[in-house]
Amino acid sequence: MVAVKRRERKVRKVFLHIALVSLLGGSFYSCKTTQKLEEGTRLYTGGKLNIKDAENIKYKKELLEGLEEVNKPRPNEKIGGLRLGLWAHQKVEDEEAGFYAKWVNKRIGEDAVLLDKVNTNNVQKLMKNRMENLGYFNSKVQYEIKKNKKTGFIKYEIAPGNRLMIDSISFQRVGNKKVDSLIQNYLELEQPIKKGTPFSLEELKSTRTEISEFLKKEGYYYFTSNNLIFEADTLNSERENTANLKLSIKDNASELALVPYVIDNINVFPKYSLDTSGDPKSSDTTNLKGVNFIQSEEFFRPDRLYPYLFIKEGDYYNPQKEKWTNKRLNSLKTYRFVNIRYREDSVLTDGKGQLTANVFLSPLSKRSFRAELQAVSKSNNFVGPSLNFEYLNRNLFKGGEALRLSSKIGYEAQLNSGDVSTNLSTIETGVSAELIVPRMIFPLPLGQKFRYSIPKTKFKLSYELLNRSQWFNLNSFLAVYGFEWNPNIFVTHNLNPVSINYINIGNESEAFINLKNSNPFLARSFEQQFIPGLNYSFQWSQLVRNIKSNRFYFSFNADFAGNALALAQNIGGVTGDDKKFWGQSYAQFSRFDFDLRNYQELGDDSRLVSRIFAGIGLPYGNSVSLPYSKQYFSGGPNSVRAFRIRRLGPGNYQPEDQTDGTSFFDQAGDIKIEANIEYRFPLISYLRGAVFTDAGNVWLKNEDNRNGQFTSNWINEVAIGSGIGLRLDIEFFVIRLDVATPIRKPGANSFQWQDSFELGDKSWREENITWNFGIGYPF
């Protein structure tokens, strides 16, 4: 882990050095940080390790990593010949620092590491100790100090000797038949330490912990890894340089550690607070299947809360069941805190102890109301205010049901060269109601098969009205019935077996009718607005825990529409290429896409993020193209940022006039491929910077008059753009401003590389510079 962190710091500084050297033209290379040292002192450049007979050491890499961890102190970082951190620190110490030096010193400044400050005797001891932990018990460490005029280093000569190997492992019984049997069976079945493997202190500690956790799951509440000890016997081993390991329970181990405990009583407090006494006598108690639900008034129905408990009366204590219970209760989203505590009652005559499990649940506020005023600015020059309201009831029917009612109203107008275009303005209103039931409403009892969290059932109804002036009105109705569940903290599944979307377009202007007449495929995508289907999404994310420096996110979505309805009509004898349901032409397609992201930490504040997205929609049967609401588009603040939203593709297509707003409708496709890479780094306080490159486009599955069909030549129709950005990152709230320019863009007949960057030319900037404003990170 130490070696990994050291590599992270080095990579982070590489990025910083590259940026600064590029900016300043390498002028810092003439700086001599050693000239600032006092007379007679030398800068320490590190400890060089030389392992004798290295070719005979099988585990060389492991040994080197272990020795490097104690090879201290670390010398001043030197990348590309420049000790930038030391230089900046010396400038500040001499009161010669300007803004730049002070900024560098704050980020990576460090004091000089001197040769005469190295405690070589201590390093020797640490190295020998580390080698003993790895099984090298006859090692030797010698050193030689190498001095130059202003620098010096230490050369360590290391002779590790032969590594101790494990010949056998045995367990010394303690006379407790149950404990003896459990440990012996565990060693035989799991074989945590195998014969012929090298001795490792870390492996022994890990094995002790595993055995301790295993015994706890069998009810041994007070057992810990400190009750176990390994002894290595090299004298009685049959082979040279091998050891017989003997595992035993310490003589001073507590007697309670060898006593299994059963759950005798379970008390649940559904509405607990600090001023709650926790005394069952002070509240009403309802006993359900051996569990006491204690509440002064019914806040949560016992029959709804009971399925969330894995802890059962009469079972042995098991921390795994406690963990599952905790996870399940937290998944309700009704409680702020979940606290499970145990109280020892007594030790029975048959050698078993008794525990009372108290489950304290501190609820969130049952009702909340939120009003939000937003100033919306989009990369297609639409600006305007938006007002959102939301009411939330977290425990509607006293069973953890969450009812969310929301409404919105917004107005947008498009700015063209500073003037509001009356032809392109939008009023959007909508209402929605969503009920989330924390259990599975389904004919089969599938909810009992989930340990981490019980699946939630979702019901949603929504209506939206979009009035795009001079074009059309769009009424959208959506009804959804589905499920959401988490098999673990990293994975989320969403399955909506019923998803019905009906979109009605009215008040069509003559210009919009003419646009559809000129593009039959576009017209067809707007006509088929009855979308009955099924959709599923899968998400795997390591971002929920900061467990390592290199984390991934992956999501997959599948959307099917019209298949069940078409099958039913085919069975019923309905034929034709344009089947209808209740007089409405319905869409029939399959749509799949995935999103893969990587987040590489390059230090405490810097990060390199990369992303790949690919999606395809397959219209068939009743459809020749995807419905407009299901099509992909490229460009904008979360896509290829060098192009305005919906102003890229399909393929090499370019509308004749991009100022009249019609391209907003027809620059979409059935296929999308996109890749992004972004380096994020801190500037000052909450302000962060970014450098990014985006690439991608959309294409059509079937050919139309835009000539944007996907072919084997698709790689030559990928647009590329690069830019820089600023982010105001205040905890969970991020305001983002990006500016980008195309590197490769659609030309007259094919994609062309940008051959000049005329930043001083106003017309060039208007055509090639794109500003994007957004809330939150793009990915």
Torsional class of 161: left (φ above 0), alpha (ψ -120 to 50), beta (otherwise): left
- Which whole number is the average pLDDT over 335-342? 94
Q: To the nearest whole number, what is the mean pLDDT of the chain?
A: 83
- Which whole number is the average pLDDT over 673-686? 89
pTM above 0.85, yes or no: no
Contact of 87 with 77, CB cutoff 8 Å: no
Share of the chain above pLDDT 90, in %: 40
Torsional class of 583: left (φ above 0), alpha (ψ -120 to 50), beta (otherwise): left
pLDDT above 90 (res 720): yes
Distance CA 196, CA 238 (A): 13
Residue with tokens 């969403």: 494
- Among the four given CATH numbers 3.40.50.11540, 3.40.50.300, 3.50.50.60, 3.10.20.310, the one describing domain 165-258: 3.10.20.310
What pLDDT is attached to residue 659? Answer: 52
Query: Residues 96-139: pLDDT tens digits?
Result: 878 878 888 887 888 999 998 999 999 999 999 999 999 999 89
Contact of 501 with 493, CB cutoff 8 Å: no
What pLDDT is attached to residue 486? Answer: 87
Query: Residues 413-464: pLDDT tens digits?
Result: 765 434 344 456 788 899 999 999 998 888 776 656 676 778 899 999 999 9
pLDDT above 60 (res 14): no
Distance CA 738, CA 726 (A): 6
What pLDDT is attached to residue 357? Answer: 95
Q: How confident is the model at residue 564 (pLDDT cuts 50, 70, 90)?
A: confident
Distance CA 280, CA 292 (A): 9
Angstrom distances, CA of residue 2 to CA of 6, 69, 129: 6, 7, 17
pLDDT above 80 (res 521): no
pLDDT greater at residue 238 or residue 540: 540
Query: Residues 43-80: pLDDT tens digits?
Result: 999 999 988 875 566 788 889 989 999 999 999 887 66
Give the residue among 15, 131, 26, 9 at the shortest CA–CA distance from 69: 131
CATH superfamily of 261-363: membrane protein fhac (3.10.20.310)
Distance CA 234, CA 317 (A): 39
What pLDDT is attached to residue 56? Answer: 61
Distance CA 328, CA 280 (A): 24
User: Checking DSSP bridges between strand 284-288 and strand 140-147, what pairing results, if any?
Assistant: unpaired
What pLDDT is attached to residue 414? Answer: 60
pLDDT above 80 (res 748): no
CB count in 10 Å sphere of residue 260: 18
Distance CA 476, CA 43 (A): 71
Q: Which uninterrupted H or E stretch holds 68?
A: helix 60-69
Distance CA 592, CA 755 (A): 37
Query: Which residues are CB-contacts of 56 (< 8 A; sequence separation ≥ 6)?
Result: none
Q: How confident is the model at residue 518 (pLDDT cuts 50, 70, 90)?
A: confident
Query: Which residues are CB-contacts of 386 (< 8 A; sequence separation ≥ 6)?
Result: 373, 374, 375, 376, 408, 409, 410, 411, 428
For the four alpha carbons of 272, 276, 277 and 282, in that order, the dihedral sign comes to: negative
As a three-state string, the secondary structure of 662-730 is: CHHHHCCECEEEEEEEEEEEEEECCEEEEEEEEEEEEEECCCCCCCCECCCCHHHHCEEEEEEEEEEEE
Phi, psi of 594 (to 5 degrees): -140, 155
What pLDDT is attached to residue 416? Answer: 46
Q: Where in the chain is the domain with CATH 3.10.20.310?
A: 165-258, 261-363
Query: Residues 181-235: pLDDT tens digits?
Result: 999 999 988 888 888 889 999 999 999 999 999 999 999 999 999 999 999 888 8
Alpha carbon 158 to chain centroid distance? 43
For the four alpha carbons of 440, 445, 448 and 450, in that order, the dihedral sign comes to: negative
Angstrom distances, CA of residue 68 to CA of 4, 5, 259, 478: 12, 13, 44, 61
What pLDDT is attached to residue 421? Answer: 42
DSSP state of 9: H
Q: Which uninterrupted H or E stretch holds 491?
A: strand 491-506
61-98: b (≥16 Cβ within 10 Å) or e: eebbebbbebbeeebbbbeeebbbbbbbbbbbeeeebe
- Which whole number is the average pLDDT over 233-247? 84
Q: How confident is the model at residue 309 (pLDDT cuts 50, 70, 90)?
A: very high
Distance CA 652, CA 34 (A): 58
What is residue 359's three-state secondary structure? Answer: strand
